[in-house]
A and B are shown apart, each in its own frame.
Chain A
Amino acid sequence: MTRLSRVLGSLLVIGLAGGEALARSSLGIGTAEVAAPVSDGIFSGLFTQIALWQREFFSALRHALVSLKRGDDGFLYLVGLSFAYGVFHAAGPGHGKAVISAYMLASRAELKRGVFLSFVSSLVQAVSALVLVGLGWFFLRGTAVSMTDATDWAELASYALVFAVGLWLLARACGKLVREPLVRSGVGRSLSPFRRMAGRDAAFSSQLAFASQADSDWRGGETAGKAAAPARVSSLSLNARPAQATSISAAEGFDRTAVCADDPDDCGCGRAHMPAPHTLSSPLTLKSGVAAVFAVGLRPCSGAIVILTFGLLNGLYLGGVLSVFAMALGTAITVSVLASLTVLGRGALERAGRFTPYASLLARVLEIAGALLLMLLGVGLLGGALAG
């Protein structure tokens, strides 16, 4: 347990460190990406290099737009450059990748959905830039609200959503944790479930597994009536189990609290097998997925905004819009690679731990870690943006 708590603790610290973002740029116009100029994390060298490349790309993009305005033929070059900028821009630090990756960790979404979410959130980001620039030009001019204000609000909404999605997933993961047989048995025996998780020797853990079945049976028996009570005593003997299991299964047929929600193989305890909650919760996952998409996408990329404003002012409508969508495509590719890495990493970790008695607890811990990471990101980003 100390190991798990240490990892969780370090995740907390990381989440807080990740939140130093300011909405307003140092210039007072335009939205800055992150306020902390450079951090001394493990990846600072890599990020410094990426930042240098990004700068080169952004300058090249600017020159391509200006030459297009002059009437030079550079349309394809501009679109290609925008795509490359999208790929590299997303490779740098940013909230989109962090949100999608943490979401993938917390929601247990599959690989396909991760890639899909990455693409949709990048698309939403492009559309959000279009909407904000359109609003800024056609509706907000002459009002007290500027496009930069609107962008700041979109950013705040985006960060608030990050927190909300994290909270939602945390609640869900905690719900699942409480339903874990290992935890339930611990609670049933009036012992701390956390001491169970730390159970180091396998013998003790396998004893636990029997105990857990006995507990469930006992609970089922109680609701079913006195008939099951004698069976509870014999349930401690392995041989007596099948007979006892059938009788209780029949008796408790309608008792929902005794229904086993795990895989059929894990349900040898005589409780009826039901689909696991996470396979039933797809509308919930869909909802949180949509929220995650907006959490990423509402906050537009400042590069996309300036490119669109330049296109708008200089009549390069098609160039501006295509450039922004090419950029979104590039971003989507990088983000989906990171989302896939998260899913594969999670899978590898769970496979590695599958033979340990707390395999499903490990899965819950990863979910909770992801959800906490999201919440902390949300709090940090919100705090930074509000302070700025």
Chain B
Amino acid sequence: MGVFAQGLALAGLATVGMGLATPAAAHPHVFIQSHVELVGDDTGRFVSIRNVWRMDELFSSSVVIDFDANATGVLEAEELDAIGETIRESIAEWGFYTFAELGVRDVKLKDPEKVHALFQDGQLILFFEMPVDEAIDLTTQSVKVSNFDESFFVAFDFTGGAEAFQLVGLPGTCRKALNVPDEDEAAARWMDEIATLGPDEAVGEEGGAFADVMATRLELTCAAES
């Protein structure tokens, strides 16, 4: 039993400890079926993004227990407002889970004034609008729009595919294309990005956030087809 072997064994134990104590990817606990409206005017100017989110049945029922202030078993208008406000305040820190990218940078979006909430068939539905806070001409530029949660608590499903994104008020020349990353491929790509990080770089700083890589995006452009 050499000193070396002993050190090796201790290092092994420490590694196990590291694995156990490291906070890594938690899996999402809330699922949102998302419907996104991309609003513009007839000149092809990008005006706003409207989100309509149908929350999953399990989360929706936990919301009833938390917010049914008068204990009637149903959520009334005031209680729904409280839900919308709680969520609005919280997701503000996470970019309202709403991202529009212009090339490598994010488009400036105004915070929503109100998050509206409805309760329908055992599911909570949230909707809100975020105005675009800069002039973007979609006839010369294309944007990529997505919903994702960098904290990985919420997972977004775009079950309708490209139909989950709806163009509103934009000229008929505008086109949309859906980018759906393959999960395994995205995970592999994300691992590659992690591998190239320096020892002092934090994950996510360089756009390497897992949710980001995994997100479904809609590419929107009104440029004339060449």
Contacts and interface: CB of A to CB of B under 8 A. Distances in A.
B30 A93 contact: no
Given A32-B29, A307-B58, A24 B65 contact: no
13 contacts: A4-B10, A11-B17, A18-B21, A25-B154, A34-B23, A34-B24, A52-B183, A59-B31, A306-B61, A309-B58, A310-B61, A313-B64, A356-B1
A28 B91 contact: yes
Contact of B19 (A11, A41, A302): A41
Interface string A26-66: 11111011111111111111011111101100110010011
A352 interface: yes
Contact of B62 (A42, A62, A305, A377): A305
Given A26-B149, A37-B204, 20 more contacts: A14-B18, A25-B153, A27-B153, A28-B89, A34-B26, A36-B23, A37-B151, A41-B24, A42-B18, A43-B19, A47-B22, A47-B25, A48-B191, A50-B25, A51-B24, A62-B56, A101-B20, A142-B70, A349-B13, A356-B6
Contacts of B26: 32-34, 37, 51, 92-93
B16 interface: yes
Contact of A373 (B11, B17, B22, B57): B17
A210 interface: no
B200 to A, nearest CB: 11
A353 interface: yes
B23 A21 contact: yes
A58 B154 CA distance: 12
A27, A98, A314: residue with the most chain B Cβ atoms closer than 10 Å = A27
B14 interface: yes
Contacts, number: 253
A349 B23 contact: no
Interface residues of B, number: 70
B211 interface: yes
Overall SS of chain A's interface: helix
B217 to A, nearest CB: 18
